[in-house]
Amino acid sequence: MLSSPVEEIKNRLDVVRVVGEYVRLQKAGASFRALCPFHSEKGPSFFVSPARQTWRCFGCSLGGDIFSFVMQIEGVEFGDALRLLAQKAGVELRPQDPSYARLQTERKRLYELVELACQFFEKQLSSKAGEEAKAYLQKRGVNDESFSRWRIGYAPDSSRGLLEFLTERGYREQEIGRAGLLVRAETGVYDRFRSRIMFPIFDVQSQVIGFGGRIFGKDDKELAKYINISVTPLYDKSRVLYGLDKAKLAIRKQNVCILVEGYMDEIMAFQAGTENVAATSGTALTEDHLRVLKRYTDNLALSFDMDVAGDSATKRGIDLAVEQGFSIKVLRMPGAKDPADFVLEDPEKWREVVARPADLFDYYFETAFAKADKSTAEGKKKAAEILLPVIKKIPNAIEQNHWIQRLADELGAKEEIIRKELEKTKMEPASLSRIKQEPRIQPANEQKSRRELLEERLLVLLFQNPENVAQLGDTELALLSPLGQEIAAAVKQRESVDTRAMAEIFPPSTVSYIDRLALEGEFLASSRDKDDHDEKEEFRACVRELFLLFRRERLDVVSREIKKAESGRDTDKVAVLLREFREITKETNQ
């Protein structure tokens, strides 16, 4: 019997390899762990088990197999995840496969649509107007390899050229609009991009998802120099970094990402051999950008203007990065040139600048004191007002202390004075908007009772160390739920944890639950110092707490029965119940 494409893909792909393309994994015993890519955290609670071919975060409770991971990390439906993983595994998806029908999604048509649009723009680069645009880019240093690698194109000065091209190939006007390629006016519907050099934007799988366009061939100063498509189901510039698909391996290998602003900055830097570079496409750093970058590195090198004294969006983005624990450096280019122009002028000097980045706070101190005369009281006050809010955002106390000392030295003031001023400095509410907008991922256990939580912890400890099962006699087993009793009894019978063997005696839903418990047991074992005594003591503490809950629950029942017996004037029963009540109370208080 032929296996399904899903099973074939799972058999060919290793979860460690798939997850490792997005997240920096570290070996932890028989498994791997990392910082979770789905929520911000300081300690690693994201766990990958090669034995089970599963992953789970014990901070936000997300977890599953390779398909659920790709769906979460890429923000795609199952069909798109199936297609991506089939390509990685070399599995052919045939129309007769039941799973193939799930690929027919709106997103798939949008991917096909924007890919056709990209081919249209590439073809237009060979037109007369397109040749002029190409000559302009060549003058700016773009070589033939870069034209091909970045698939640069040209949008002709035609109001409906792309629209007609796509409708002739079966795409509806509504679909083209949803892809962000149309604008609507009172006089009709027109191509969004006209007379522009076109830069296709790719997702991390190198699929075209959108476009940016630079005006060319028109002198109309009312037109924006650069425009991007609007937010679409495929593209949101606050989430996408231009060039990351080509840079991600180099970023992970070199453990630093160089951030530039524009398309040309990205292309020219890459062309000069700096492959660990990504562009923000003219927008400020967002929390989504930082979350994506965190998968690959904790180190950023910035090559755009940063006004430490201002309230720019760029500064707020950098503040977010500092709050999230990124180590940030600054690339200082003489003459305040853009990276694209600097590379064109002297690629070797660019590489020297990249090799010797300055610390962000060194840069902030230099720019602050360039604007404030520290020989005067007013200048010292101004410099402190600029730098104290920046220092206050540093999450690491040791690093923060270093810059407090530095500021005290620069101002000729005592550290105590600087610390007092720092205490009075208010934190800018940079994160308030995202707290309101971003739904918090609630751990699954928040809806569970204390009894359920205690039982689950006991089972986790049991899976962490099956020897704990010796502490479970019939009396202790009776404290567990029927399912908990069955699981503990199965471990007791086998004297080990074998989730594959348990698949033979439990239904799939229970096996999935057991898998999660076993994985959490592995995570617990890898994230704390090994101490059998502590493990067994915690296990005994769980049993004691369950006994305590049982007694308190029994006290409630007995109290209700006493009231009922008293109302019925059954004095014999009241006496028996009161004796039981006193015995349970005595045991509870011991």
SS3 string, 405-433, reads: HHHHHHHCCCHHHHHHHHHHCCCCCCCHH
Residues 62 and 441 sit within 8 Å (Cβ to Cβ): yes
Instruction: Give the pLDDT of residue 355.
Output: 93
Using alpha carbons, list the distances in angstroms from residue 550 to 7, 460, 468. 45, 20, 21
Residues 368 and 572: their CA atoms lie apart, in Å, by 86
Instruction: Give the pLDDT of residue 472.
Output: 77
CATH number, domain 363-432: 1.20.50
The domain made up of 106-228 is a member of CATH 3.90.980.10:
yes
**Residues facing residue 63 across a β-bridge:** 56
- The residue ranges of every structural domain in the chain are 5-103, 106-228, 244-356, 363-432, 448-556
Instruction: Give the pLDDT of residue 482.
Output: 82
> pTM for this structure?
0.61
Instruction: Give the pLDDT of residue 49.
Output: 86
Round the CA-based radius of gyration of the chain to a whole number and report it: 31
Instruction: Give the pLDDT of residue 221.
Output: 65
Residues 342 and 351: their CA atoms lie apart, in Å, by 10
Q: Is 483 exposed, middle or buried (0-12, 13-18, 19+ CB in 10 A)?
A: middle
pLDDT tens, N- to C-terminus, the chain (590 residues): 445 788 888 888 999 999 988 888 888 877 888 888 887 777 888 889 887 888 988 888 788 889 999 888 876 778 778 888 988 888 877 655 555 455 456 778 899 999 999 999 999 998 888 999 999 999 999 999 999 999 999 999 988 999 999 999 999 999 999 999 999 888 889 999 999 999 999 988 889 999 999 999 776 566 788 898 888 888 988 889 999 999 988 898 888 999 999 999 999 999 999 999 999 987 888 888 988 888 788 899 998 766 555 446 677 788 888 888 888 898 988 776 789 999 999 999 999 999 999 888 888 888 888 888 888 988 888 888 888 888 888 878 888 899 999 999 989 888 889 988 888 887 654 433 332 333 333 344 445 777 788 888 888 887 777 777 777 777 777 888 888 888 887 777 665 555 556 656 677 667 777 777 777 777 766 655 555 556 677 788 888 888 888 888 888 888 888 888 888 878 888 788 788 778 777 766 65
Residues 166 and 124: their CA atoms lie apart, in Å, by 14
Closest to 294 measured CA to CA, from 340, 353, 346, 248: 248
Instruction: Give the pLDDT of residue 427.
Output: 62
Homologous superfamily of 5-103: Zinc finger, CHC2-typedomain (3.90.580.10)
Right CATH for 244-356 from 1.10.3720.10, 1.10.260.40, 3.40.50.2300, 3.40.1360.10: 3.40.1360.10
Residues 6+ apart with CB under 8 A from 235: 180, 201, 209, 210, 229
The answer to whether 5-103 and 244-356 have equal CATH topology is: no
